[in-house]
Chains A and B, each alone.
Chain A
């Protein structure tokens, strides 16, 4: 697995893939989808697909691929090695969603949540397999959100392919297990070899599992909190763990799409606060002098102090 395309720029989404086995272009194939790194506050989320001819399903079973969560890191590496050696009939592709991609998607003006991002990434990978000429007939997916809805969405998107969405699909279908191994191996390698774009000097890489409830991860997050910038791009800013820490320890930053309440926002929306009807002054100060629209349009004011 060559990670160099992602390492060249780890702030974006990146696709890695194996050669497409020739049999996959002629025989009916099945495909499994799984993801790794959905929950951690650190590092990328990796989506993986694995595909092979339907007739080779048994061969895949013989490789003893199993749910990646039940395997140790070494066992996963070994199994990935075996999968890669079986390149005559097994193909894979990965989509690495950098933590920065996740942050910016979830925190942008029109929110793009993690489920939507996951679904779209999965669809993108299936489309990639189709575009590469893989004769897809069956697709197996571990669910994200309600299984029925997801299955319906995928079936509509890919007519003519039998889509099976199941929770725990990675322990039910060997092809999904294989996909989960590819995704997990890629994520482990990326996290281990993460190159910080920020100038942090000697970075303490002892950040634990990366999951929010890991005390090591929490300690690391506290250590690398910059009061102005928050975190390196390695951290998912959209995770509440990161946000809570930034809210309490870093400088407060206000964006114009943040919801506010109270007097100030009411004034901003040109709404009158109920209180203003009862006060004596009635804001006559503001109405005394109306600045010409040339200046108000351009947000220009005459300051009385520097």
Chain B
């Protein structure tokens, strides 16, 4: 009916729609302003956007992005329907990868030597965040020599710290009534099942998944072990068991007694007469030929790959 529309490329905006706490953008605290900074995302290892408030608090930036959305702002149109969220963030998550990397050397080091990144010049500012220095002991051992403090990464401490994070997340998930069951694929699909019916493991696994968004893959795996949750290797495990699987190791017993057919009065019927076509087929030399069913068995499938 009409010609196909061409999408014009999204150009950079000079304004955004943001939801942020007052304290994140409050410029009354001191002269400096809140600034957006790029830092290394501990989970993806790529750049992500964060915000440092005037009060040196760290915030992460999340963007709600869905196709076919736009804003009407006052008398203007904003073509990206993005909604930015500026939410508080524990700086330890961002410091952790640097500390863990230097921890491989096994030495106590001053933090300003550890938290450095050529790709992200803003990175040292992480250490000036209000809670950074005082909470480093959660993930590192400390040594004080005179005025100077030295730190060394501790996996044990980190695991304990992360476990606490997971437990707190579980509490938050329960309070917010978030559906965590494996079967739930959509947040808008609400089960009739009561909340209490969810297994504790469902919550733990979900919370672990959430925390894993803030740590490296290796740490995520270590944490899974630490939480004693079995690793889900493939989506197969969530599938219903295949019909062929044995339900128990006990020997299979017949549910019915078939021996009655073995009695003498149960004479075997003579084989049915074959049609001419069947007869000629039966005479065909079949050596080396596979039965048709072999092409559909799972074994054959695996060979194909």
A residues lining the B interface (CB < 8 Å):
228, 240, 243-244, 247, 252, 254-256, 261, 268, 289, 291-295, 297-306
Closest A residue to B6 by beta carbon equals: A252
A192 to chain B, nearest CB (A): 31
Q: Is residue B36 within 8 Å, beta carbon to beta carbon, of the partner chain?
A: yes
Q: Which of B176-210 contact A (CB under 8 A)?
A: 178, 186-187, 206, 209-210
- Bound state CA distance, A302 and B47, in angstroms? 9
Q: Chain B 84-108, CB within 8 Å of chain A: the 1/0 string? A: 1100000000000000000000000
Complex interface: chain B residues within 8 A of A293 (CB): 209
B residues lining the A interface (CB < 8 Å):
1-8, 12-13, 16, 36, 38, 41, 43-44, 46-49, 60-68, 77, 82, 84-85, 178, 186-187, 206, 209-210, 212-213
* Residue in A254, A261, A291, A301 whose beta carbon sits within 8 Å of that of B63 in the complex: A301
- Bound state CA distance, A147 and B5, in angstroms? 38
B127 to chain A, nearest CB (A): 22
Complex interface: chain A residues within 8 A of B47 (CB): 304
* Residue in A228, A254, A302, A305 whose beta carbon sits within 8 Å of that of B68 in the complex: A254
Complex interface: chain A residues within 8 A of B16 (CB): 306
Q: Cβ of A301 and Cβ of B8 under 8 Å apart?
A: no
New contact pairs (18) apart from A299-B65, A303-B49, CB-CB < 8 Å: A247-B5, A252-B7, A254-B67, A255-B68, A268-B67, A292-B209, A292-B212, A294-B178, A294-B206, A294-B213, A295-B213, A302-B41, A303-B48, A304-B46, A304-B48, A305-B12, A306-B12, A306-B16
- List of 9 A-B pairs having minimum Cβ-Cβ separation, nearest first: A256-B68, A304-B47, A302-B48, A303-B63, A292-B209, A297-B187, A252-B5, A299-B66, A300-B62
Closest B residue to A294 by beta carbon equals: B210
A295, A299, A301, A303: most-surrounded residue (chain B CB, <10 A): A303
Q: List 12 A-B contacts (CB under 8 A).
A: A243-B1, A247-B2, A247-B3, A247-B5, A252-B7, A289-B43, A294-B209, A295-B62, A297-B187, A299-B64, A302-B63, A306-B36
Complex interface: chain A residues within 8 A of B209 (CB): 292-294
- Bound state CA distance, A163 and B213, in angstroms? 69
Interface SS of B by simple majority:
loop
B122 to chain A, nearest CB (A): 13
Complex interface: chain A residues within 8 A of B38 (CB): 304
Q: Cβ of A301 and Cβ of B62 under 8 Å apart?
A: yes
A304 to chain B, nearest CB (A): 4
A282 to chain B, nearest CB (A): 16
B187 to chain A, nearest CB (A): 5
Complex interface: chain A residues within 8 A of B44 (CB): 289, 302
Complex interface: chain B residues within 8 A of A261 (CB): 4
Complex interface: chain A residues within 8 A of B186 (CB): 297
Closest B residue to A257 by beta carbon equals: B68
- Bound state CA distance, A244 and B8, in angstroms? 18
B49 to chain A, nearest CB (A): 5
- Bound state CA distance, A268 and B86, in angstroms? 28
Closest A residue to B43 by beta carbon equals: A289
Complex interface: chain B residues within 8 A of A294 (CB): 178, 206, 209-210, 213
B93 to chain A, nearest CB (A): 12
B178 to chain A, nearest CB (A): 8
Q: Cβ of B213 and Cβ of A254 under 8 Å apart?
A: no
Report if A240-B1 is in contact (Cβ < 8 Å); known contacts: A252-B6, A254-B7, A306-B16. Answer: yes
- Bound state CA distance, A97 and B61, in angstroms? 48
- Bound state CA distance, A294 and B209, in angstroms? 9
B175 to chain A, nearest CB (A): 15
* Residue in B3, B5, B43, B60 whose beta carbon sits within 8 Å of that of A254 in the complex: B5
- Bound state CA distance, A247 and B7, in angstroms? 12
Complex interface: chain B residues within 8 A of A252 (CB): 5-8
